[in-house]
Structure 1
């Protein structure tokens, strides 16, 4: 990363109106669903295209072909700082193919190839774990604000129409050695909101705060979700979003064990933290929320803070794309090279891969 770009990012962070910490901001290498580098299963583009340096990174997570001639590429898009790039459409992508008789790559017509961004629910699941501190200090002083902020978070992150690609569960903790499940994973945001509405001031039987235990247990849950997805041959990503208004008081688990769990967690898991008030340890919360952390000075700022974090969580979930097109290659052409390039707000990036056209014929739709 160039020094002037680092400086620009630093100045941008200083200009935000809320006290925000991007802590140990993640980069595309640490958050890839594959560990093969920035480009995932892809590789750098052949020099014959002369695209120059990538300003956007396309990290290929999976790819497959479907007869009679469809090529499908599943990838994540991020900028050079690791920030997710969401909301792209098919018209922003250009496809290039290189067959056995081509010195370089030929542009494939987007209209003739019927290029499109397709729903990815069959191959991808994004799990969000909303983990709420319901210790005595929250229940006695800021529960209405927390419920309102959590409801806004759910509305912002979860699609209005249920989509199996996006699932959320809500958990809460107090001083017990338990991470309580308020609502299991679901794609129905109304059920999640009803669960938040059901929280009452007498929900907890232990006024202490087992913050580190909550970190350890939610990390384990996220790991298990990714393992389950892999067993079902589905690509999984997870986000742990943890809210607290204080520090660990139970002392059941050590700070070092919690931070170690976060640091060593599966690279497919993102960690976000929200801190409220003056009694939090912002340094610890920044380390737990290694992807993004944000702080509210008082309960009146809580909903705005949750909304800001929800944008980060939503952007990450929506930066995964299933791009599909109908290739003009036909059976007998063998293995062909493929490049996908994206343009967005004056920035560009590209990735190269290959596909086998065995069996390809006309009739792709």
Structure 2
């Protein structure tokens, strides 16, 4: 019995060493997205903290311990601080709204606009939001381009209340294909190295226009250039229509469905909450390393009473040529290289 216990313990310890980058046996998962080091002795680490599928938000600089080569780096020496992730990252959400005849002719456009306004107000606090609409037409109808201006979003959405579709059919598949393209084009224009995109689609039923087949849609969704986008779907309509739409294939990261038109706002609220949570899991830790030469293993460990469990990340950096002058400023902004970006796992 004792031999088995010792053997099991050593096996677990060995597995911990193999999985040191995210911690072992801990309730928290800490995942490095990117990191950078620059003279005189600045170090930046961009990472996520999660507990299971839930993000861990609200941590501060003192909630982390920094180790280099197994030795704790004092907070006084490191001057560690949490910078606003927006200095290195940008997040875009594209909202696609079904305004086909089944929506506009049934009196559901006003509740839809109200829900979309709530959604954009919430999500727009942490990222840029764009809104496009679709009916049976071949092309999307631009409502609001990607913007951080709340007034512009609200004004654009108000115009949908009197929208009359030129084609009352539903080009759902074509809208998703074009929406992915619009989202990527918007992010490609950004100069920040860390870019995160989210597509949210609302529809009351299946694609009827047949401009893009289900197979063609699946092929587009599987493209590598879109693999790190989060995708959500909201469906409020007749059960048979929603079953035919197969919205869960579009909303890979979350789908809300129902047949009660009065609860469309609740569905939008739940998706908005998931997107908000996604954005709050990111941290940009900046500190001044005491190292002045050679390769070093840095370990960032979550150590706080604010959340139950432990977690850490580890990686190696090069400190050759480090040291003042000038003196290290922990508030200095990073300039992450694009080719060093590692995309984290998507929020669930």
Q: 2:278 aligns with which of 316, 326, 333?
A: 316
Instruction: Map 1:280-319; keep pairs closer than 5 Å.
Output: 280-281=242-243, 284-319=246-281
Q: Residue in 2 aligned with 1:94?
A: 65
Q: 1:256 aligns with which of 211, 215, 218?
A: 215
Which sits farther off after the overlay, 306-315 or 335-344? 335-344
- Alignment TM-score, normalising by the size of structure 2: 0.80
Q: 1:282 deviation in Å?
A: 7.0
Q: 1:153 deviation in Å?
A: 0.7
Deviations 1:95-127 (A, max 9, x none): 1111xxxxxx01223354222210122321111
Q: 1:197 aligns with which of 152, 158, 179?
A: 158
Instruction: Map 1:32-47; keep pairs closer than 5 Å.
Output: 44-45=19-20
Query: CA RMSD, aligned part only?
Result: 2.3
Q: 1:224 deviation in Å?
A: 3.0
**Partner-residue secondary structure (3-state), 2:86:** coil
Instruction: Map 1:1-365; keep pairs closer than 5 Å.
Output: 44-45=19-20, 52-81=24-53, 83-98=54-69, 105-140=70-105, 141-159=107-125, 166-229=127-190, 232=191, 234-265=193-224, 266-278=226-238, 279-281=241-243, 284-329=246-291, 331=292, 333-343=293-303, 345-357=307-319, 358-361=321-324, 363-365=327-329
Q: 1:277 deviation in Å?
A: 1.9
- Alignment TM-score, normalising by the size of structure 1: 0.77
Relative to 1, partners in 2 of residues 1:136 and 1:294: Cα closer, same or farther, differing over 3 Å? same
Task: State how many pairs are aligned.
Answer: 304
User: Which sections of structure 2, spanning at least 5 residues, go unmatched?
Assistant: 1-17, 330-348
**Partner-residue secondary structure (3-state), 2:31:** strand
In the alignment, the residues of structure 2 paired with residue 318 and residue 263 of structure 1 have an alpha-carbon distance, to the nearest angstrom, of 27
Which sits farther off after the overlay, 53-62 or 245-254? 53-62
User: Which sections of structure 1, spanning at least 5 residues, go unmatched?
Assistant: 1-42, 99-104
In the alignment, the residues of structure 2 paired with residue 281 and residue 112 of structure 1 have an alpha-carbon distance, to the nearest angstrom, of 59
Q: Residue in 2 aligned with 1:21?
A: none
**Structure number with larger C-alpha Rg:** 2
Structure 1 segments (4+ residues) deviating >6 Å: none
Which sits farther off after the overlay, 70-79 or 108-117? 108-117
